[in-house]
A and B are shown apart, each in its own frame.
Chain A
Amino acid sequence: MKGPVVQIEGVHKIHRRGPESIDVLKGVDLTVPEGEFLALMGPSGSGKTTLLNLMAGIDSPTSGRIVVHGRDISRFNEDQLAAWRTRNIGYIFQAYNLVPVLTAYENVELPLLLLRLPSKRRHEQVMNALEAVGLADRRRHLPSQLSGGQEQRVAIARALAPDPPLLLGDEPTGNLDRDSAGAVLGLIGILCRELGKTFVMVTHDPKAAEAADRVARMEKGLLLEDRAGAL
């Protein structure tokens, strides 16, 4: 195994809503080595999305350390996190990943606009990412003109385009039929192996978890088992 890409140590997350406070994460430790495809499973409300959002730097922990690629992002402020996300994280949501008024090409180009690349270089990166997911010929299509599986593949291309070390997916195949889900997972597996990306995916689908190198299980804000291999 290579060195860890994600190191989570003693992370607590308390959501406050008015006088109420919900203890969502109650001391989570997790290490994800480079190049691993990790599936995060567990019942609804167990805190999977919350944990993923912390790794993505779109949310901050109440206490504990989150080190990604050697940097403790739990200390970053909002602007630092934003700039860091562009280069370090590719996030794929369950659905509605794409900006509906932009074409596949323009969607993939979005994060690159933040990197001030020369336009030729930007174009190459967009086309490479679209080719990696097999949708270069659909680049001029709007999201409404693509199937659900194709939309998710464009979302993967967009996540890949800035070449981040860590990809995160919150039930990325949750809205897809079995065949499309299989194709998307197969693609993710290949990308991890060939491009050396690390991928953490939340899923409810045991079948989807089979594609992963390892499955971690959450329950009531705690990481219960941390089991290598498929179920």
Chain B
Amino acid sequence: MNWLRYTVHALTRAPLRPSLAVLAVALAVALFCAVSAVDRGLDLMLATGARSDVLVVFDRFQSCPPLSKLPEAHRGALEGMEGVRDVTAELFVISSCSRVTDLVAVYGIEPGKVRSFRDIDLPESEFAAFSSERGAALVGRRAATRYGWKVGQTVSLERLGGLTFTVRGIFTSKTEGLESAILVDLAYLQIATSQPGKVTLCHVRLADPENGGALAVAIDRHFANSKSPTRTASERAFMDAAVSSIAGLVEFTSLLGYGALGLVVAGVGNSLSMSIRDRTREIAILKTLGFRRPQVLRLMLSEAFICGAAGGAIGVAAAWVLIRATHFELSVEGFSFAPALSPSLLLEAMILSVVLATAAGLPAALRVARLRVVEALREVD
């Protein structure tokens, strides 16, 4: 028998309390992983989703971009402005504008321009099939996986008033969130959703990327006295604004993550100190046999270590399964992103769990390692 077996026996032959500790650790680690993944997903969206040479033109009076409505005629006016190289219009239809998890986002786009404004990647033949057919759709890889859609399949979305399309291609994208979207022809979407002549926004590619600020001001001034005034900013600025609107939520969730780690410390610390109190006699016996402080300390800490490792492994696995299986997704004012659960995050959570659990066990373990045999024996008698 070696040290580890002693510890394993101590944990498995009196499993109630250690199981509770492991469960608490697992729960906390899962929570930590989920919260950190959301945080990192958001960062990823900011890093990949925003381009600086493109301005976005929205309805001035809608703070929520998907509710923005501009006349399609704005596109022509924008094309005529100085400093503008290219313009495209898009219409978004989203099941909700609030922070929902399972959203369906349909983008009405101009097939001839979409590839120069949006980062999408798919076989040329699929794109050709899409461009030549009204009522065709390109579906993001994530959306296709989530709903089990195949190329050639005809889909009707009840939640969007029975919008019907045929999947002609499945694309991948490095832009966070876009892979969850469905792209259809702008005109088709306008008619299908009874919004003829309406668009959500226009993308404006700058002739000179350095000139974004001035052009944005010029655009808004140009439309200021029209029926549909605009609000123009770089894509990055819009995204930052959207994200800052949920800054409180993000802060709260990261607090939640740290709170969860606090739970590890409290859970293991409490469990170990109770288990040690129950085992005062056992430890007095070990000391009588000649076990010294460091040896007792090692025995007790290895229990905390194992609780941390087991709980960490379960928690990490649970978070992984949960996030992968549910294709969990979040949307902030029309920008959607998935939690980024990378192997490095899982490893980090695992290490944190083990380190924190061991540290949490330290005070109780130290106390018991210092215990004087004679006192301990008298205490129990």
Contacts and interface: CB of A to CB of B under 8 A. Distances in A.
Given A101-B10, A113-B1, A91 B288 contact: yes
Interface stretch (A33-41, A82-90, A198-206): A82-90
Given A53-B374, A96-B380, A101-B14, A58 B288 contact: yes
B281 interface: yes
Nearest to A107: B285
B151 interface: no
B290 A86 contact: yes
Contact of B292 (A79, A91, A99, A102): A79
A149 B311 CA distance: 40
A111 interface: yes
A16 B343 CA distance: 58
A100 B282 contact: yes
Main secondary structure of the interface of B (DSSP, over half): helix
B290 A96 contact: no
Nearest to B374: A59
A106 B373 contact: no
A56 interface: yes
Nearest to A159: B289
A151 interface: no
B9 interface: yes
Interface in B276-292: 281-282, 285-292
B81 to A, nearest CB: 80
B227 interface: no
Given A83-B290, A99-B286, 6 more contacts: A53-B373, A58-B373, A91-B289, A102-B9, A106-B9, A113-B1
A142 interface: yes
A163 interface: no
B6 A114 contact: no
29 contacts: A53-B373, A58-B288, A58-B373, A58-B377, A59-B373, A78-B292, A82-B290, A82-B291, A82-B292, A83-B290, A85-B288, A86-B289, A86-B290, A91-B289, A93-B377, A96-B281, A98-B285, A100-B13, A100-B14, A101-B10, A101-B14, A106-B6, A106-B9, A109-B1, A111-B289, A113-B2, A113-B3, A114-B289, A114-B295
Contacts of A56: 288
A87 B285 CA distance: 15
Contacts, number: 62
The interface size bin for chain B is: 20 to 34
A97 interface: yes
A110 interface: yes
Contacts of A97: 285
Given A109-B1, A113-B1, A142 B13 contact: yes
Given A53-B374, A101-B14, A110 B9 contact: no
A142 B287 CA distance: 21
Nearest to B373: A58
Contacts of B282: 99-100
A168 to B, nearest CB: 10
Interface string A191-218: 0000000000000000000000000000
A82 B287 contact: yes
Contacts of A78: 292
Interface of B: 1-3, 6, 9-10, 13-14, 281-282, 285-292, 295, 373-374, 377, 380
Contacts of A82: 287, 290-292
Contacts of B377: 58, 93
A110 B290 CA distance: 10
A114 B6 CA distance: 13
A101 B9 contact: yes
Nearest to B381: A94
A158 B289 CA distance: 9
Contacts of A79: 292
B11 to A, nearest CB: 8
Contacts of A106: 1, 6, 9
Nearest to A170: B377
Contacts of B281: 96
Interface in A100-125: 100-102, 106, 109-111, 113-114
A91 B285 CA distance: 9
A110 B286 contact: yes
Interface string A45-69: 0000000010010110000000000
Contacts of B291: 82, 114
B293 to A, nearest CB: 8
Contacts of B290: 82-87, 111, 114
B282 to A, nearest CB: 5
A149 B146 CA distance: 66
A76 B3 CA distance: 27
B5 to A, nearest CB: 8
B374 A101 contact: no
B292 A58 contact: no
Contacts of A53: 373-374
B288 A99 contact: no
B288 to A, nearest CB: 5
A66 to B, nearest CB: 15
A89 to B, nearest CB: 8
Nearest to A105: B1
